[in-house]
């Protein structure tokens, strides 16, 4: 499965801790992240992560493009609801794309816990069926 990892500045520590706790599950999948978030997770866990631009520089949009092309299976986006984001329209667009394409999205630790456990138990295998029906057969 292709997994996106994104975190606003005040939530990066939380996502790094989460990725560290579930490193063995994440290691079984192909990981993508926005710039600084990906670097921090990679340094803390040793996980191989494809890094896009930082969120404000277009990283959110790059991940959104993968969603629109049916190339992203789930998104862990630890959002900071108490701080205004300069790229809020990009954030809103990314969340909207997850809804449009039925991509599971965790925006906080509680939902992330449920999503990672579901991933571990194989509850997202329906994504492989969706990919196969759309011609995606790369196994991710």
Q: Model's pTM, two decimal places?
A: 0.90
Q: CA–CA separation, 115 vs 97, rounded Å?
A: 18
Q: Would you give the distance in Å from CA 21 to the centre of its chain?
A: 16
Domains observed in the chain: 2-132 (3.40.50.1380)
Q: CA–CA separation, 122 vs 85, rounded Å?
A: 34
Catalytic annotation on 60?
yes
Residue 132 has a pLDDT of 77
The residue annotated as part of the active site, out of 60, 73, 80, 99, is 60
pLDDT, tens digit (0-9, with 9 covering 90-100), for 38-74: 999 999 999 999 999 988 888 999 999 999 999 999 9
Strand extents, DSSP E, the chain? 2-7, 30-33, 49-51, 74-78, 105-106
């Amino acid at each position: 499965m292709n997994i996106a990892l994104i975190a606003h500045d005040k939530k990066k520590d939380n996502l790094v801790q989460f990725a560290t706790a579930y490193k063995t599950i994440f290691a079984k999948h192909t990981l993508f992240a926005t710039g600084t978030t990906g670097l921090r997770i990679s340094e803390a866990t040793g996980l191989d992560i494809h890094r896009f631009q930082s969120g404000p520089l277009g990283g959110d949009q790059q991940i959104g493009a993968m969603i629109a092309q049916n190339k992203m299976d789930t998104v862990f986006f630890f959002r900071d609801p108490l701080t205004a984001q300069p790229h809020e329209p990009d954030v809103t667009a990314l969340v909207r794309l997850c809804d449009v394409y039925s991509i599971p999205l965790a925006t906080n630790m509680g939902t992330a816990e449920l999503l990672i456990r579901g991933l571990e138990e194989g509850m997202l295998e329906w994504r492989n069926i969706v990919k196969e029906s759309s011609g995606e057969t790369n196994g991710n």
